[in-house]
Amino acid sequence: MKRILGPLAIAVALGAALTTAPAAAAAPEAVAAHQIRAKAAGVWTGTVAVPDGTVQVTMSFHPNGTVCLVEPPPGPDGGAEGSGTWTRTGPTTFSFRVTERFFDGSGATVASLRATHRATLQGANAFTTVGKASYYDPAGNVLATFATSSSMKRTQQAPTPSCP
């Protein structure tokens, strides 16, 4: 299970099934939404805390409200893929949800994770999160639910061209 929890932490960092960005009700709200999108969009690298330690991850947040796992890439023994959505929740806050699939070398799903995070920007190039994740077996049964957190630094202003 420890081998799977490493990729699991990656999913936790990302966050699934979140609503898309709220529509602007008025011009000031549209400006605020644009500003937080500009602040959060980009490529971020950092650590995610899980029950058995921390994992290094890289995520890409896109201005359209999508987020995806960029690294670590899958290897010959399998790996993980994850994506989700994010939305502005305040002047310096946002939330994101992801779903991640863990697979073996043949591509068969061995587990999945759903995570939700609340993020707070720490200046222009950092954010921290607190969240909750649930880990599932291939049949969709909950194996574990736990609290998580992350600390991320911006490594690139522009997001990746597309999710892997």
CATH placement of domain 2-156:
2.40.128
- pLDDT score, position 43: 95
Nearest to 67 by CA among 118, 16, 142, 114: 16
pTM confidence score: 0.75
Contacts 24+ apart (CB under 8 A), 21-24: 21/64, 21/65, 21/87, 21/88, 22/87, 22/88
Segments making up each domain of the chain, as ranges: 2-156
The pLDDT profile of the chain, 164 residues, written as one tens digit per residue, is 444 444 444 443 333 323 223 333 333 444 344 444 557 899 999 999 989 899 899 999 999 999 998 776 778 889 888 999 999 999 999 999 999 999 999 999 999 999 999 999 999 899 999 999 999 999 999 999 999 999 999 999 999 887 76
